[in-house]
Each structure stands twice: as structure tokens, then as C-alpha cells.
Amino acid sequence: MSRTHRNMRFYSIRDIEDLPQLSGLPAEDRFAMRVVAHVFPFRANNYVVEELIDRSRIPDDPIFRLTFPQRDMLRSDEFDALAAAVGHGDRSAIAEIVTSIRARLNPHPAGQADDNVPLLDGQPVPGIQHKYRETVLVFPSAGQTCHAYCTYCFRWPQFVRTEALKFATDKQHTYLTYLARHREVTDVLFTGGDPLIMKADRLRAYVEPLLGPKYDHIQTIRIGTKSPAYWPHRFVDDGDADDILRLFERVVRSGKHLALMAHFSHWRELSTDIAREAVGRIRETGAVIRTQAPLIRHVNDDATVWTRMWTDQVRLGCVPYYMFVERDTGAHHYFSVPLARALDIYQAAFRRMSGIGRTARGPVMSAHPGKVLVQGVTRVAGKKAFVLSLIQARDPEQAGRVFFARYDPHATWLTELRPASSESGHQPVDHILSRDRHSDVHRVLAARRRLVLTERRTPQ
């Protein structure tokens, strides 16, 4: 296979004026990108820009939309205020406007910061979330950036320097004690950011302890990553590429399942020789690549994109896993696709696959009560309704529960849906789920957790 070695170059807000690929854009558009990049962290790299973006198709190119900030990601009044401050170079005004915009953008959706952080001996465990009984999410402190940033990322608070919004493991790796004690946990999911931004020895320090006898109950180690898409050199010719692959082999040989939860937004990301080589090398270690991505307007809101992406993934031996609904955070108004349309796209793509390619579940909302799958549309008491099911639930007893919501062609998130049956009144459908879910014990625990966290976050 032909490929060229590449030394990584990150591009940031300062490079927007100088990138030759952007020189064809009007100066006004480049300025707009710089304005928006004050709010949403911008990072691209030379592989993304040179290999994935089709320069002749900017600004409509999907990978350009995926990685470069767009004017309409901000509300027009907010854009105008910020543009004026940026135009004047007024730093304190910029900082003030940026802070107020970010506060509006729902930085920790679905109760991530409060309700998912578990306690150990009465104290919150830094850098982990435990929402579903079987699976603990670990946010390694050195893995909280990515090789490039997705414009729609719901993890954006991880990339901006607001410590109070951040989330990462502590030096003592307290989470290991938690995992050793929690025998119900079968899966550990390293996430970020992108844990594969870490050097191999750093990653090894997180993964290897889990291969020891104290962690027999852990069956699966997952790594959430976009590296095969944004920086496939990571597995091919980066200085420690082979060390990473050897670590994967060790996990597999230890008798655990190693799953790379690979984020692919578009088939283009799998079209380069080096991306295919990266996938091949990962698979040779015995790791399984499972693929997932949100459905994003302007990037992949087209059934033919998903059909081709799943087809290419299956051919390369990857297993399609989730199609997510864009979360209600960040520039949701710009990227979101109505649930009804998301379902149409999912089903159109699904129908063109054989059973082997129908393994992705979607469209799925990762919401407060759990992961809610939009299964289809039906009629309830003569009225059109969404069929929804909880495929993951904060309360394990609720997993698999099916429920209905009034059909609404414009709704983009669970909280906008109303129950299908009239007796349930006008409450949003997720309130009904939480009312059923919350036993008294749950409520007390959640309140205590919130209290502890609030106290910790209050500045001294």
C-alpha cells in the first residue's frame, strides 16, 4: 500500500488566515470562522486538511463542516456581539461574551456531571462516570484532547480551560479502587477526548492494571476513539504505533475482549489507504472495531452516506454499532436533525444492508434516563406515534422497556416529546420515565451526590 509518512501538525484558530486550503474563501468567512472558534474550540491537523477535505468543495464539504467552525453555529445576535468584540480586539469583552454564550450551551447534558459520578467511601471518584450497571466510563487525565475537534462535539467543555467544567482521573487513580470493589462492572470504557492521543506508555498505565487478578470481573475493555479517522498514522507509522498495537495484543491474550469504539462520521474517513491500513493493523491484534457516530446535519444527514459507510466498514471487518442523535448541547440548533427525519435516514440505510450490516442500532438518544432508541412510527388509539425503547437504562430494571410518544415531525430530542396516551397529560415523556424510575433510595443518593459535588466545585 502506498502511503507517506507525516509529522503531525495541529492547526488552531491562528492558522485560519494562513491555510492555503482556505485562501479561496472570502475574508469575511474566514473572519466568521475565527469569531466562532472563540466559543467552540477549533483544532484540525494536516492529515484531515490534506487527505479528507475536498478543497474544491469547501464550504459544503462534509469533513470541512465536521471540523471547521461555521458562522451559523452561533445565534446571530451572539455572533454579532462577539464579532464586534473580536473586530476591536477587546479581550475583556471577548472573554465576557464567550463565557455567557457557553453558559447557555448546556455544557453537561443528561446529568453527566452530577448524576453519573459514583462515590467511594462517601467521596466522588474523579474522572469516572457510572451510569449503567455494567459499564464504567474512565476519562484519563492525559487523554482529554483529540487529533482534531468535531464542531458538534458534546464534550466541548473538556477542551476549554474552564476547570470547573472538566472531568479527569486523579494522580492516585482512585477509580481503580472503585473498579476493584464493583464486581457488577463488566466493561470499562476509556473515553475523553480521545484516549489514543496519549503515548503508548501512558495508555498502558491505564489499561494494564485491569489485566490483573483483582479485575477478573472486567470482561471487556473499550477505547472510544476517532484516531482511525483523524490520525490513522497513530496505528501505522507514529513513533510508538507498534507499542500501541502490542498493548492491544496483550489485552486480547489476557482473555478479555478489546473493543475499539471507533467514531466514523462519513465514508470519506475510511477511503484513504492509510485509514484502511490502520484498520487492518488494529484487527490483526485481535481487537474488534465497533463503529458509531451521531447523525449530523451538514455532515452525514443522508441515507446514502450511511449505506456506503456501513458497507465499507463491513468490508473492512468493522462492526457498525450505534447511530446517535445529536445531543442537546453546543450548537444543537445548527447540527440537529429532527427525530422523524433521523428515523427515515436510518431505515433507508438499514434496508439496503444485509443482516451483517444491520448491527448498528439507531437513531439513539443518550438521555438522562438512558439510551432511548427511536424504533419506528405506529398508531396509538388512531394517532401517529413514535415507538421508543430504553436500550440502556440508569435503572437496570427499565432496560428493554418500550413506550410511545406523540408523533412530532419537528422534535429533535426526548424532552420535546409528549406521551402518546392522553391520560398522561402534557408532561414531557422523559418526566414520566424518571417518575417511575426514582425510588426513594435513588432520590436520596442523587441528592447527596449533587450536594457533595456542589460543595467541591464552590471556589474557595
Residues that bind ligand PLP (CB under 6 A): 116, 129, 131-132, 135, 137, 189, 366, 371, 392
Closest CB 265 distance from ligand PLP, rounded Å: 17
Segment lying near ligand SF4 (by CB under 6 A), choices 6-14, 54-62, 192-200, 353-361: 192-200
Of 307, 375, 310, 309, nearest to 339 (Cα)?
375
The DSSP secondary-structure symbol of 49 reads I
How far, CA to CA in Å, does 323 sit from each of 216, 266, 400?
Answer: 31, 12, 18
Comparing CB distances to ligand SF4, the nearer of 197 and 245 is: 197
Residues 6+ apart with CB under 8 A from 386: 339, 340, 343, 374, 375, 376, 377, 404, 405, 406, 407, 417, 420
Residues 119-158 as x/- pattern, contact with ligand SF4 by CB under 6 A = ---------------------------x--xx--x-x---
Segment lying near ligand SF4 (by CB under 6 A), choices 8-16, 189-197, 273-281, 388-396: 189-197
40 binds, among ligand PLP, ligand SF4, none (CB under 5 to 8 A by kind): none
Q: How far apart are CA 137 and CA 193, in angstroms?
A: 12
Per-position DSSP letters for 82-106, written without gaps between them: HHHHHHHT-HHHHHHHHHHHHHHT-
State yes or no: residue 194 binds ligand SF4 (CB under 6 A).
Answer: yes
263 binds, among ligand SF4, ligand PLP, none (CB under 5 to 8 A by kind): ligand SF4
296: which 3 cell numbers? 449530523
State yes or no: residue 226 binds ligand SF4 (CB under 6 A).
Answer: yes
Comparing CB distances to ligand PLP, the nearer of 294 and 419 is: 294
Q: How many CA atoms lie within 13 A of 185 on its CB side?
A: 26
Comparing CB distances to ligand PLP, the nearer of 266 and 394 is: 394
Q: How far apart are CA 368 and CA 364, in angstroms?
A: 13
Query: Do the Cβ atoms of 427 and 417 come closer than 8 Å?
Result: no
Closest CB 389 distance from ligand SF4, rounded Å: 25
Comparing CB distances to ligand SF4, the nearer of 306 and 335 is: 335
Closest CB 195 distance from ligand SF4, rounded Å: 10
Phi/psi at 20 (5° precision): -60, -30
Chain contacts with ligand SF4 (rule: CB under 6 A)? 146, 149-150, 153, 155, 192-194, 226, 263
